C-alpha cells in the first residue's frame, strides 16, 4: 500500500510510505531553491513517485496536513482584535484574506490538480488536522509502543499546542491550547523585536544569541506577556506583544517602555538585545517544562515524543532531556511543517486504517541521490578538474586536508530530509581551530558572528565528549560539553560551554563514520565540525547545486561521491 503525505502552506514537502515504511521524503525548496517554499510540492511529489518507481495510479491514499474549512476560530480572533487595536485587526485581516484566497480554498482543488498533473488515479484524499499530523510524525516513527506526546508551533488551523497519549496505532488528544495563546508566535514576535525575520526562519538566531545574554527581562515577560495559566496551560497577552503586529515590526507602547526600542534590521546587537533573547529563551523553556510535568502526571508514561516547530529549539530540548520527568525522549528531526507530510502519511496508515506499527525512524536520508557518473558529468560540464578516488584513498586524504585547515563541501548519498545537514550535504572542517567559526560564518556562510556550529562525532565517543553516553543522530539537542574537552574543540563549543551534536552510527552512515574515524586517527579528536552545505539558500540537493555553491563561495575543496575537486 502506497500513501503520499503533503505539506503545502509553507515548508512544502512530500513523503511517500509503502506498507508503513518511508520510501522518500523531501522539501520542495530543495528543487525550487526558494527557502521555505510555499505552494503545492509538485517536484517533491515527482521525486517521491520516481524514487518509489511508481505512478500516481499506484497510490492508494493521499493525505494533506490541514483541514481548510476550520477557519472559524481564526476569523473570531481577528474580529475580537478590533476591540484592542485597529492596527492589530488590519494585520490579521491582511494575512487572513491572503491565506483564505490563495491557500485554504486552493486545497479543495488538490485532488483534481494532482490527477491533472500526474495522471488518473483512484486514490482517496484525506484532509487531516494539523497538530495530530505533528503528533503522528513523532510517535508513529518512534521506538515507543506507548508515549506521552507534546506538539508546539505557531498555529495549525487554530490549535497551537497539543498534549496527547500515543498507544499502538492510536493517538488520543488530552488537551489543546488555541489562539491567541501560542509559544511559537511568542517566540516569533521576539524574533522580529530583535530585528530578525520570522518569515525567514530566524528564530534560530534568537536561540543562538540567548547564550550571550542574561535573563534581565524574564520577570517582565513572565508577568506581562507569557505566563502560566494553571497546571496545563499558558496565556499570551497580545495587548503587550502581538505576533501579527510584530510581523510588520510594530510593537505596543507597553513593551517598548519595558524593553526599550526594538532593534532595526542591520543595527548593532547590544547587550540589551542579548538579554532580551536570553529572557525569552528561558521563559519558553520554563513554560514547556511546566506543561511536561503535568503531562507526565496525567499519563504516567516514561516516554515522550515531541514535534511542531517549537521542537526545533534544541536548547529547550536539552533541558527537557535533563530536567523533565520523562526517561526517554524522541524528537522528530523534521519537527516543523515539512514533517507533517510524513505525519499525514503515517496518521492515515495507522490512525485511519488501523494498520499495525513496525517502523522506527533511525535516520533522515530520504532525499535524492546521484550516481558517480551523474556527478562526473556535471563536473565536466562545469569544466572543473577532479580526481576519482576509491574510499581507501579518498577518506584519509580528505581527513588530512581537513586536519590541515581545509573547509570541504561534502556531498554523498541521499539528501537529508529536514533543516539539518547530517553528513550527506555538509560543510566539514576542523573543530580544533578556534578561528574556524569566524572563517565559516563570515567568509563562507555569510551569516552573523554569534551563530554556533555543530559537531558530528562518532557515536561511541559521546561519553568522552559529554561525560555520559548520548544518542542523537538528528542534531536536535543541546547539552554541555565536558569541561576537559572544551579546550580541544573550541570551534563547536558555544559561549556557554554547550554543543548541538550529531552522533554518527557506523550502521546508518558508514562512509561518514569512516571519514570521522580517519580524522580521529590523525588528530585524536573523534569528530568533525559540520554545518549545512549552503550559502544563504536551501541546502544543496543536486551535484549542479553543489557546483554552483562552490563557484560563488570561499571554501577549499569539494567531494561529490567519489570525485574530489580542490580549488587551485
CATH class of 372-566: alpha beta
Instruction: Tell me the three state secondary structure of residue 518.
Output: helix
CATH for the 2-68+108-140+335-352 domain, from 3.40.50.1820, 3.30.420.40, 3.20.20.100, 3.40.640.10 = 3.30.420.40
Instruction: Tell me the three state secondary structure of residue 45.
Output: helix
- Low-confidence residues of the chain, pLDDT below 50? 96-101
Angle at 154 between CA 321 and CA 216, to 5 degrees: 65
For 166-206, give the DSSP string.
Answer: EETTEEEEEEEEETT--HHHHHHHHHHHTT--GGGTTHHHH
Q: What is the pLDDT of residue 97?
A: 41
Smallest CA-to-CA distance from 560 within 416, 422, 425, 407 is with 425
Smallest CA-to-CA distance from 428 within 406, 447, 450 is with 406
Smallest CA-to-CA distance from 398 within 358, 438, 429 is with 429
- The alpha carbon of 509 is separated from its chain's Cα centroid by a whole number of angstroms, namely 20
Contact of 194 with 273, CB cutoff 8 Å: yes
For 100-132, give the DSSP string.
Answer: IIIIIHHHTTHHHHHHHHH----PEEEE--HHH
Q: What number of CA atoms fall less than 13 Å from residue 91's CA on the CB side?
A: 17
Query: What is the chain's alpha carbon radius of gyration, rounded to the nearest angstrom?
Result: 23
Domains of the chain, by residue range, sit at 2-68+108-140+335-352, 183-331, 372-566
Beta-carbon contacts of 330 under 8 Å, excluding residues fewer than 6 positions away, are 138, 139, 142, 143, 144, 147, 303, 304, 305, 306
Identical fold, 2-68+108-140+335-352 and 183-331 = yes
Q: What is the pLDDT of residue 96?
A: 46
Question: Can you tell me the distance from the alpha carbon of 564 to that of 408, in angstroms, rounded to the nearest whole number?
Answer: 10
Q: What are phi and psi of 464, to 5 degrees?
A: -65, -40
Predicted model pTM: 0.94
Q: Please, what sign has the CA dihedral across residues 144, 149, 154, 159?
A: positive
Q: What is the pLDDT of residue 563?
A: 98
Kindly give the residue spans of alpha helices, DSSP state H, lying in 211-354: 218-220, 243-247, 253-259, 271-299, 314-323, 339-346
Question: Can you tell me the distance from the alpha carbon of 392 to that of 476, in angstroms, rounded to the nearest whole number?
Answer: 32
Q: What is the pLDDT of residue 377?
A: 98
Give the CATH architecture of domain 183-331: 2-Layer Sandwich (3.30)
Q: What is the pLDDT of residue 106?
A: 87
Instruction: Tell me the three state secondary structure of residue 143.
Output: coil
Contact of 553 with 547, CB cutoff 8 Å: no
Question: Can you tell me the distance from the alpha carbon of 521 to that of 508, in angstroms, rounded to the nearest whole number?
Answer: 21
Contact of 529 with 439, CB cutoff 8 Å: no
Residue with cell 554518527: 504
Amino acid at each position: 500500500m502506497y500513501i503520499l503525505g503533503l505539506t503545502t502552506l509553507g515548508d512544502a514537502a512530500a513523503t511517500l510510505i509503502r506498507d508503513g515504511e518511508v520510501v522518500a521524503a523531501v522539501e520542495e525548496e530543495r528543487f525550487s531553491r526558494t527557502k521555505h517554499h510555499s505552494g503545492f510540492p509538485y517536484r517533491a511529489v515527482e521525486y517521491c513517485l520516481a524514487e518509489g518507481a511508481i505512478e500516481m495510479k499506484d497510490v492508494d491514499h493521499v493525505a494533506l496536513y490541514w483541514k481548510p474549512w476550520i477557519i472559524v476560530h481564526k476569523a473570531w480572533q481577528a474580529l475580537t482584535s478590533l476591540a484592542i487595536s485597529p492596527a492589530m485587526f488590519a494585520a490579521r485581516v491582511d494575512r487572513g484574506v491572503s491565506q483564505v484566497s490563495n491557500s485554504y480554498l486552493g486545497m479543495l482543488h488538490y485532488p483534481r490538480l494532482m490527477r491533472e498533473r500526474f495522471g488518473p488515479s483512484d486514490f482517496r484524499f484525506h484532509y487531516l488536522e494539523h497538530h495530530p499530523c505533528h503528533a503522528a510524525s513523532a510517535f508513529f516513527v518512534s521506538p515507543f509502543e506507548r508515549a506521552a506526546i507534546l506538539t508546539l508551533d505557531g498555529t495549525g488551523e487554530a490549535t497551537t499546542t497539543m498534549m496527547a497519549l500515543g498507544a499502538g496505532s492510536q493517538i488520543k488528544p488530552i488537551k489543546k491550547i488555541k489562539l491567541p495563546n501560542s509559544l511559537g508566535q511568542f517566540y516569533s514576535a521576539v524574533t522580529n523585536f530583535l530585528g530578525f525575520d520570522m518569515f525567514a526562519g530566524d528564530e534560530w538566531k534568537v536561540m543562538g544569541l540567548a547564550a550571550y545574554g542574561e535573563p534581565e527581562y524574564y520577570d517582565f515577560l513572565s508577568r506581562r506577556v507569557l505566563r502560566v495559566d494553571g497546571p496545563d496551560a499558558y496565556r499570551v497577552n497580545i495587548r503587550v506583544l502581538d505576533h501579527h503586529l510584530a510581523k510588520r515590526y510594530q510593537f505596543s507602547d507597553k513593551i517598548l517602555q519595558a524593553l526599550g526600542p526594538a532593534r532595526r534590521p542591520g543595527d548593532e546587537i547590544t547587550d540589551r538585545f542579548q538579554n532580551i533573547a536570553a529572557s525569552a529563551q528561558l521563559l519558553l523553556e520554563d513554560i514547556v517544562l511546566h506543561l511536561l510535568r503535568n503531562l507526565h502526571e496525567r499519563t504516567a508514561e516514561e516516554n515522550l515524543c515531541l514535534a511542531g516547530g517549537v521542537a526545533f529549539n534544541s536548547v529547550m530540548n536539552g533541558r527537557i532531556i535533563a530536567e523533565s520527568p520523562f526517561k526517554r525522549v524522541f524528537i522528530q528531526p523534521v519537527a516543523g511543517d515539512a514533517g507533517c507530510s510524513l505525519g499525514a502519511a503515517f496518521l492515515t496508515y495507522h490512525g485511519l486504517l488501523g494498520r499495525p506499527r513496525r517502523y522506527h525512524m533511525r535516520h533522515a536520508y530520504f532525499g535524492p541521490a546521484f550516481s558517480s557518473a551523474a556527478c562526473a558529468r556535471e563536473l565536466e560540464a562545469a569544466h572543473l578538474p577532479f580526481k576519482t578516488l576509491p574510499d581507501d584513498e579518498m577518506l584519509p586524504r580528505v581527513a588530512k586536508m581537513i586536519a590541515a585547515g581545509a573547509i570541504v563541501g561534502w556531498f554523498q548519498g541521499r539528501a537529508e530530509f529536514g533543516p539539518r545537514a547530517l553528513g550527506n550535504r555538509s560543510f566539514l572542517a576542523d573543530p580544533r581551530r578556534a578561528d574556524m567559526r569566524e572563517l565559516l560564518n563570515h567568509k563562507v556562510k555569510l551569516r552573523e558572528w554569534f551563530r554556533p556550529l555543530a559537531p558530528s562525532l562518532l557515536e561511541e565517543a559521546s561519553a568522552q565528549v559529554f561525560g555520559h553516553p548520548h544518542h542523537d543522530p538528528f542534531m536536535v539537542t543541546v547539552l554541555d560539553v565536558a569541561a576537559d574537552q572544551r579546550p580541544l574543540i573550541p570551534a563547536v563549543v558555544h559561549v556557554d560551554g554547550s554543543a548541538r551534536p550529531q552522533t554518527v552510527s557506523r550502521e546508518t552512515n558508514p562512509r561518514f563514520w569512516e571519514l570521522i574515524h580517519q580524522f580521529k586517527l590523525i588528530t585524536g579528536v573523534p569528530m568533525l565540525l559540520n554545518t549545512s552545505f549552503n550559502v544563504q539558500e536551501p541546502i544543496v540537493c543536486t551535484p549542479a547545486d553543489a557546483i554552483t555553491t562552490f563557484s560563488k563561495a570561499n571554501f577549499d575543496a569539494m567531494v561529490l561521491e567519489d570525485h574530489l575537486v580542490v580549488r587551485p
